[in-house]
Amino acid sequence: MRPGINFLEHAPVIRGALELVVRRSGRVVLHEKDNNLIVNIARQNMARLLTGEGSNRIINRIAVGTNGAPPSPDDTAITNAFIKPISSFSYPTPTSARFNFIIKENEANGMAIMEFGLIAADGSLFARRTRGGKVIEKEDDLEIEGFWTILF
């Protein structure tokens, strides 16, 4: 064995999961949780955060969009995005961060939502999740609450 740094062959992978609760006129009509994809640019941004170069790379917004194509590590944007600030965040475990959001009844109406994204302060996409071709038809009596957890 050579002296120096020994990188793990199978280091833990950064991963995430998005839980959605959709309410129509206050009544839950959909509750689902599924994994998401951390995109390549997010890994580059995290490397820069470690050196202090990334203050504008913190995750601070949620986006919903209309592209139902499967996520790719090379994704860089949400299609026809409606973007709003994250409502709050927490640390469910010492190695996870959770971003909470609500798309209110008066927001994104008329949109056929098929994708979700976490957006950094510099506008870069951090993570993306699609719904496997399923659509949420956003109307003025529909509210979408989300809990997006990133695990390190």
* DSSP H helices in the chain: 40-50
Could you tell me if residue 95 is inside a domain? yes
Q: What is the average pLDDT across 39-62?
A: 85
Could you tell me if residue 29 is inside a domain? yes
Distance CA 75, CA 30 (A): 27
| SS3 call for 22 | strand
Under 8 Å between Cβ of 93 and 85:
no
Could you tell me if residue 24 is inside a domain? yes
Could you tell me if residue 1 is inside a domain? no
Between the alpha carbon of residue 37 and those of residues 3, 30, 43, 106, 129, the distances in Å are 35, 22, 11, 28, 6
Give me the domain span that covers residue 137.
Answer: 15-151
Q: Which residue has the higher pLDDT, 21 or 39?
A: 21
Q: Is the pLDDT of residue 94 over 60?
A: yes
| Whole-prediction pTM | 0.89
Total count of domains within the chain: 1
Could you tell me if residue 9 is inside a domain? no
What pLDDT is attached to residue 47?
A: 82
Distance CA 139, CA 93 (A): 35
Residues 126-141 pLDDT 10s: 999 999 999 999 999 9
The dihedral region occupied by 56, where left means phi > 0, alpha psi between -120 and 50, and beta the remainder, is: alpha
Q: Quick one: pLDDT band at residue 144, thresholds 50, 70, 90?
A: very high
Could you tell me if residue 4 is inside a domain? no
Could you tell me if residue 119 is inside a domain? yes
What pLDDT is attached to residue 73?
A: 94
Could you tell me if residue 10 is inside a domain? no
